[in-house]
Every structure is written in structure tokens, then in C-alpha cells.
A and B are shown apart, each in its own frame.
Chain A
């Protein structure tokens, strides 16, 4: 049925696997898992800000070491954690920063000369500052991504969601986020079924035009169905007592471990910003 089909189905499949895997890891026993999600989220955001504020490579390394340490004590599967960050990063950021390593973009001390034809005014070489700049950028992106992955892997997503409220995200928005996350799976299931039933009915090649038309009808159907479904959800909420006001029951409790972690992160960040930069 074509590339688009395989790619989309594969995409949906890997997303579902990722979600299930994340769910499992986030419910393991570990250090970060034991913390109050609100404290964890704020602390990790302070770290993220620091990562993006500092200039020196050393600062990034220090924070990354801290992240790895946290991952280990939180029984995050290391192989997955490293792969998730370092496997895809070179493809995107790596390609983007690649030209930086050459002298025509970043002049400076030559590390390795590639082409030198003085007669034609062509000189291509890899420079030390070029490599450093490129690596600095890649590393900054990698550490940022690591932090987010760490937060997601160590927190059940609904706790992560509820903890957004401490970041001044309005409660209504948090409820909408939760409901959206939920209905993504309902829609994905519908999509998967429609893809599979089309696949089973079709043999041989289908033109791109046909595929586009079919995809449009699929999206159109989803649109129409979404209207009906949102109306039904509204009724079912009403039926169970919803009257334009969402009530939640928060059971988070802070203890000394949370405060310790928070102050630890804060001290680390302040010191890095002040003394290492």
C-alpha cells in the first residue's frame, strides 16, 4: 500500500511501545520515583534553565554527570536512556552543526587539513574551535533532552500532569491535557483499525492519488467522529455531576527528601552559574 502506510503504522506502533515502556519504568522503585512530582518538575526545570544559560563545556559535563547519577539511582535502564538521547541526536543536530567544524565557517587553529589548492584559493580544513563549538552545541541539546527524558521516565504521566499546576498552568488546561492524552489512544486505535482493514482489502499497488484521497476521508471521518465523541463525553461528565467546574483531589505531600533534592539541585545550579559559567 505504500511507504506512507508502513511509516505511519510503524510510527503508531513505536509510540504505543514507548508509552507502555515509560509507564513501566515510571512505576519502578527508585530515587526520583519516590520524590514529589512537583518538586521534581521544578528542580529539573531549574537544571534545564542552567544547562541553557551556561557557556562552558565543563558546566554541561558536570550537569550531565549529575543526570547520569540520578538515572542510576532511579533504576532507569541505562542502555535505553543513552540510546534514546545519543542515537537520534547526531542525525538532526549533528547534521546541522556539521559545517561548523570547517575553517570556512569557523576559522582558527587547524586540526586537520583536508584539501589545500592555493592556486584555486581552495582550502578546506577542520579547526579546533570549530570542533569545540559544534560539540558544545550538540552536548547542550543532548543534556537538555536527557533532562526531559529523565523526568518523563521517572514520573507516571498523570503525576507529571498534575504537577504542572505548580508552574502556574491553569487547572482547566491541566484537565484538558489529561483528557487529550487519553483520547489520543482512542483515535490511534481507530486509525490503526482503519489502516489494517484497508490493507486487508487491497492487493497490489495503489496510486498516490488514491492513497491521498483515502487518507483525507480518514481524517475527515476522524473530524466528524471527534465532534460526536466530544459531545458524548460532555454528557457523560454531566451525568456524573460535572457542572462547569472541575474538582480535583490532590494527595501530594512534601517531606524532607523532597526538600533535600530541591536544595541540592539549586545549590548545584547556582554554583555552576557563579563559578564555572
Chain B
């Protein structure tokens, strides 16, 4: 497969997954808002600030907006073309990448992505957003699910599929760390509120944004306990949005691409990914909390970035052609 094509497929996977996860984050925050009493500006700010901080785009946000409230944060995360990580920017980028590899993806996948793009560009999208905002984000998630489902059901298991999965799972692992990290940024009114109604509501929201609410209750027939939630979202071997699950998929796909046997590595990406997977396989939630959840998640995000970077170097990086040099060489022949 062409290196350039692998690169586009990888980014197509990442961007569509990113768009979906933004929709998830936003939707849950909206639901949380419904549980509040006496909403004022200060409370709203406390409510929306963590969302911006968890995306890592807070600097960018405060360049364009003065205050974090429903309007500004939603606009920033959804329709703001200046924000490269808004839903619309992600969908545009996914589609641009898809356009470059249209010969590699199936007609159905392309049409799904294109439909989402056309929808977001249409006046209908704005109307739906104004009138039925939950439907709006549900629409984005649905298209993303359809896209992933089509990839499962229609794409041959060759290199292209592997690169798509690498992009998808890398992004998903990263976004799960960010969803979990949101709770770190959310302030409770006082220390006494730990374990109280608001605290529980916030943790439930975290579960919901990772589609993990049902999984949690199936696995831990118990109340909402923060340590268990962290355990599920970081270490679960079976829940498909947990960090460990995503990294395992990532590791499998990287080995599929190279053909290198498991437990060995043939390049830096495989080495880093294998090491991270071991850490997750043998880690415990007690260790996480003793290190500090936020610090731990930060470290995982860095590791994921390194894996992404070394995958790029191993397969997709094209040393730019030195045109003048090439021309000279060819003219001498």
C-alpha cells in the first residue's frame, strides 16, 4: 500500500472517531445540566470549563471566546471551523482524507461520510441544533457508528483495514483518557460533597459518555464507585472502549501490518505499544490512584502520542522528494 494512502486512511479513522467522541462529551454535559438547580453564570462556567480543559484546546478557546458557557463551548466544539478539533472540522478532515483514498474504501463508507458532511453544511443542521440539540449529536454518533459498522462489514482485512483500525483505536484510547480526566477538572461545591448526589451524577455522566453505563452495572453489581469506574475504563479486558482494550487492538493491528510475531517487535511503534499494553495488562487501579488519576492519564496520553508518531515514521513518512536534485540526476542519464 502507498505510504500516502496509509496516512490518509489512518487520519480518516482518527478524525471520524474524534468527531464522535466530541459529540459524546457534549451530549453528556448537556444531560448533566438538566440535573442542576439554580444555574447561574458562575455555575455554568464550572460546568463547561472542564470540557474545554479535557480536550486540551483551552488556549485556543480563550483566544476566540471570553467566557465558557453553553453557547460558546458548544459553538467552539461543534461548528467553529477555526477550531481544528470541532465536529465540523473533524468531519471535513475525515472526508478530505477519504477523498484521497476513495479507491480504498467502499462506496457505502464514502457515502456515509459524505452524507454527514453534507448534513453538517446544510441549514437543516443548524435548525436541528437549535431546536433539538440531542437529536443533532445523536445524528453525528449514528453516522460514525454506521461508518465503523460498514468498515467491519464491507472492508477486506488487508493493510488498509489495519491502518483504519490503528487510527480508530489510537484516537479512542486517547479520548477515553480525556473523558475520564474530565472528572478531575470538575469541581465539587465542598469536600463534603464527595460521594454525594452531585458527585454520583457526574460519575454517571462519565460512564454514559463512554457508553459504559450498562457495562458497569453488568460487571460490578454495585453502586457507582469512582475506583471501579476508573478500573473499567482503564483496565477492562472486555469493554471495547477501555484503554487496555483499545491498546490491545492497536497492538494486534500493528503486528498484522508488519507480520511480526506477537511478543516480538519489528519497529519502534510495536515496541512502545507492546510495552504500554504490558503495563495495562499488569497494572492496577490502586497504583493509578496512588500516582494520581490525572497524572496517570496524562502519562498514558503521552505514550499514545509516541505510538502514533512512531507508526507514522515506520510506515507513512515520505521523505520529501528533492525535485531539483532528481531533475538533475535524470537529465544526466
Is chain B a partner of chain A in the same complex? no
Residue ranges of A at the interface with B (Cβ–Cβ < 8 Å): none
Measured CB to CB, the residues of B under 8 A from A are: none
